[in-house]
Amino acid sequence: MRSEPAPRLLLPLTQRNFKLYYGASVLSMVGSQLTLIAFPWFVLKVTGDPAAMGLVLAVEGIPRAAFMIFGGAFTDRFSPRTVLALSSVSRAGVMLALGALTLSGFVSTPLIFVAALAFGILDAFAFPASSAFLPRLLETSQLPAGNALVQGVGQLSTMVGPAAAGFIIAWFSVGDPRGGADTADLPGIAVVFIVVGLGFALAVGLLMFVAAGGRDGPMSAFSATQMLREVGEGFSAMWRDLPVRIITLVFTVFTLFWRGPYIIGVPVLCEARFEEGALAFGFFGSAMGLGALFGTIVGGSLRHPRERWFGALVLVDTAVLGVSFLVYAHASSLAPALGVTVLAGLLDGYMVVLLISWLQVRVPTKLLGRVMSMIMFFNSGLAPVSAAAARVLISLSLTGMFLGAGSILVVLSLVGLAIPVVRSLGIRPEGEHAGD
């Protein structure tokens, strides 16, 4: 496969439809990053139990996994624009309601689980729709630049959003009349929820003006049998293509041994070991975003390596993520932990641009929503399993959990690098599809 010329990073912004979609994406991603800090802190303050985060993530992750494989089928059937607009409207409603209830003092553990359930279901439809939207807005040659812009602002929001959430929570928590360490942060958390809800509402307005990304042809009759058949087509397309199948398996390893330990372990680490508390938690997200932002810019600006290098690069990325856990296990101050997080984010941001652009070209557009939903199922849908295991391990030893998960990621990455078919993603030298 011939290497594509280096893309002009800002060229997609000359397209009206992309600019509207980009604006909606910015609002959605900033809101998501604010929520990633506010919601776990909300769980800690309401329940007072770090282990409860694992249960909440399971309630959020199980429906996400269950519905995600159908989210791709709905995306291919109704169009990415329709699915994204409906999910954004629903997200706005959930966030505004949660913020109002929290601000009014009507907070409880059942409310947390209801909100987590809603987040999981809505994410299941929004994630594959987002991945399938861009190829309908841009030419193939502009996809790397478009993905870099979208992922770049996502990483920028990862860098700024968590710290902003920490500052908002700290600012509005001062002088809480209810007093108490557990309730003092709730006003600030409520403000974050309301801001996020308003952002999602504005994103819906922008999506309504996008004049592309609709259905490509007539819609077949809707039935449960037809929907299951369409889901099966997506799984078959993913499994028959050897490189895509290998990437999916690598993502599965990443999900099981990184997602849960990071999502659950980092806030507990910040609360237990670092005096900065919520601010330290925000800095972790910002450090990951800073590294990923530079990685994304590199991925969208420079000539991409040959396809056969993608597998080795993914495995190196996974190994570095494992090393970051080994550092977390022993870090007594923020500096070394944040330093290795920046490095991990750099490699991860670069690989995200490479792999998404590659998949959007490799997979037929009519199947892209379903194939991406299958990949996302293994990439994030298995997060509840990882979260549940992390919750149990944290109760035994926080340090031991980071050491164990990090060591497994490093060892499995080295094993993958030693296996030629994994290292090369099974891609033939001439660049032919292995599933053809």
Q: Out of 273-277, 323-327, 388-392, which region has the weakest mean confidence (pLDDT)?
A: 273-277
**Burial class of residue 219 in the structure, from the number of CB atoms within 10 Å of its CB (0-12 exposed, 13-18 middle, 19+ buried):** exposed
Say if residue 407's pLDDT is above 90.
yes
Q: Which of 247, 250, 264 is nearest to 36 (CA)?
A: 264
Copy the structure tokens of residue 256: 């099981």
Q: Among 1-5, 110-114, 119-123, 168-172, which stretch is predicted with the lowest mean pLDDT?
A: 1-5
The pLDDT value recorded for residue 179 is 47
More confident residue, 161 or 16: 16
Structural domains of the chain, ranges and CATH numbers in brackets = 11-212+226-423 (1.20.1250.20)
CA distance 224 to 74: 12
Quick check: 147 and 134 in contact, CB under 8 A?
yes
Cα–Cα distance measured from residue 235 to residue 72, given in angstroms and rounded to the nearest whole number: 11
- The average pLDDT across 360-364 equals 83
Q: Please give the Cα distance from 407 to 402 (Å, whole number).
A: 8
d(CA 114, CA 122) in angstroms, rounded, equals 13
Average pLDDT, the chain: 80
Q: Are 261 and 401 in contact (CB under 8 A)?
A: yes
User: Which residue has better confidence, 39 or 176?
Assistant: 39
Neighbours of 117 (CB within 10 A): 17
Residue 74: the pLDDT is 83
Nearest by Cα to 69 from 370, 380, 359: 370
Burial class (CB in 10 A: 0-12, 13-18, 19+), 216: exposed
What is the rounded CA–CA span in Å between residue 191 and residue 325? 32
Per DSSP, the three-state class of 390 is helix
Does 235 score more than 80 pLDDT? yes
Question: What does the alpha-carbon distance between residue 157 and residue 293 come to, in Å, rounded to a whole number?
Answer: 9
Q: Which residues contact 364 (CB under 8 A, 6 or more apart)?
A: 237
At which residue do the structure tokens 């809707």 appear? Answer: 222
Q: What was the pLDDT predicted at 1?
A: 41
Q: Dump pLDDT digits (tens) for 202-231.
A: 998 888 888 865 555 445 556 677 778 888
d(CA 40, CA 116): 10
Q: What is the pLDDT of residue 220?
A: 58
**Average pLDDT of the segment spanning 48-74:** 77
Interval 320-354: pLDDT, tens? 999 999 999 888 788 888 889 889 888 888 888 88
